[in-house]
């Protein structure tokens, strides 16, 4: 029997923003596909909410073949796919050369290749519904390249551009594609990785703050959803500033 609830796949659902979004929407009656590599946290969510409200999928977003099977399994359970939320991501702070090349590859594999995999595999299912959408996690670090977060910052700028492209392309399928752009969020992903820019800008948002923005974005027609007043002001100032000023500001905030 097809599930008539609105349905969403959430990658990186085991913790942080992904888990907060899952729990927020489960309360609202959504059917959620919980995608992550960490089984125990996903099982805890399913034990709380039951099989009728969510399904568990242990997979890496960089593994296209397994991901394809899990997407199909989710749709078989849910009956449809209304929203894809690409939340899985990796971050590591430090001088570029102090982070191993393998780790740089991992960051790009998850933050970029993973998002591309999920969008590509979700399209056939999203096309079957009217007004379906894709929500990608970008970041305030996409505004200008951040020293000490070179790979992460670049990966989020890629997300911004990729989102803009698909938002235009997939309008012909009635699929709205948008990016959530928060400043630094107090989650395990940045634990122990504080850089000067984080200290200067502050880590003032919680995962629930972002989850609330994701919930509001379900009816938004914006392409970029910027989280927090401070970041919105930064975006405005960046838009009216010449590039050398942006570079000087970034050097000040990061201490480079």
Q: Is residue 248 included in any domain, yes or no?
A: no
117: domain CATH number?
3.40.50.720
Range of the domain at 165: 7-193+203-228
Q: Is residue 189 included in any domain, yes or no?
A: yes
**pLDDT tens, residue by residue, 10-51:** 999 999 999 999 999 999 999 999 999 999 999 999 999 999
**pLDDT tens, residue by residue, 219-239:** 999 999 878 656 555 655 556
Q: Is residue 51 included in any domain, yes or no?
A: yes
Q: Which of 245, 227, 224, 206 is nearest to 19 (CA)?
A: 206
Cα-Cα-Cα-Cα torsion 196, 223, 58, 104, nearest 10 degrees, comes to -40
Domain count, the chain: 1
| Residue 166: per-residue pLDDT | 98
Residue 144's pLDDT band, with cuts at 50, 70 and 90, is confident
Chain-centre distance of CA 27, in angstroms?
20
| Residue 222: per-residue pLDDT | 94
| C-alpha–C-alpha distance, residues 155 and 62, integer Å | 14
pLDDT (mean) for 112-124: 98
pLDDT (mean) for 115-128: 98
Q: Is residue 250 included in any domain, yes or no?
A: no
Q: What does the longest C-alpha to C-alpha distance in the chain come to?
A: 59
Q: Is residue 233 included in any domain, yes or no?
A: no
Q: Is residue 243 included in any domain, yes or no?
A: no
SS3 98: helix
- Is residue 249 packed enough to be buried (19+ CB in 10 Å), middle (13-18) or exposed (0-12)? middle
| Residue 38: per-residue pLDDT | 95
Q: Is residue 66 included in any domain, yes or no?
A: yes
Q: Is residue 239 included in any domain, yes or no?
A: no
Residue 1's pLDDT band, with cuts at 50, 70 and 90, is very low
């Amino acid at each position: 029997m097809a599930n008539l609830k609105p349905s969403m796949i959430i990658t990186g659902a085991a913790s942080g923003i992904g888990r907060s979004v899952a729990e927020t929407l489960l309360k609202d009656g959504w059917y959620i596909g919980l995608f992550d590599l960490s089984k125990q946290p996903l099982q805890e969510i399913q034990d709380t909410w039951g099989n009728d409200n969510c399904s568990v999928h242990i997979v890496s977003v960089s593994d296209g073949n397994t991901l394809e099977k899990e997407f199909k399994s989710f749709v078989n359970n849910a009956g449809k796919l209304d929203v894809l939320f690409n939340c899985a991501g990796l971050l590591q702070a430090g001088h570029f050369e102090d982070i191993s090349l393998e780790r740089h590859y991992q960051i790009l594999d998850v933050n970029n290749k993973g998002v591309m995999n999920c969008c590509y595999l979700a399209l056939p299912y999203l096309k079957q519904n009217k007004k379906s959408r894709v929500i990608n996690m970008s970041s305030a670090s996409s505004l200008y390249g951040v020293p000490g977060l070179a790979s992460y910052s670049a990966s989020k700028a890629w997300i911004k551009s990729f989102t803009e492209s698909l938002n235009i392309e997939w309008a012909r399928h009635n699929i709205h594609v948008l990016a959530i752009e928060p400043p630094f969020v107090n989650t395990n992903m940045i634990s122990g990785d504080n850089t000067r820019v984080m200290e200067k800008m502050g880590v003032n948002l919680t995962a629930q703050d972002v989850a609330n923005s994701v919930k509001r974005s379900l009816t938004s027609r914006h392409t970029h959803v910027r989280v927090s007043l401070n970041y919105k002001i930064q975006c405005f100032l960046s838009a009216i500033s010449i590039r050398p000023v942006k570079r000087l500001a970034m050097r000040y905030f990061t201490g480079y």
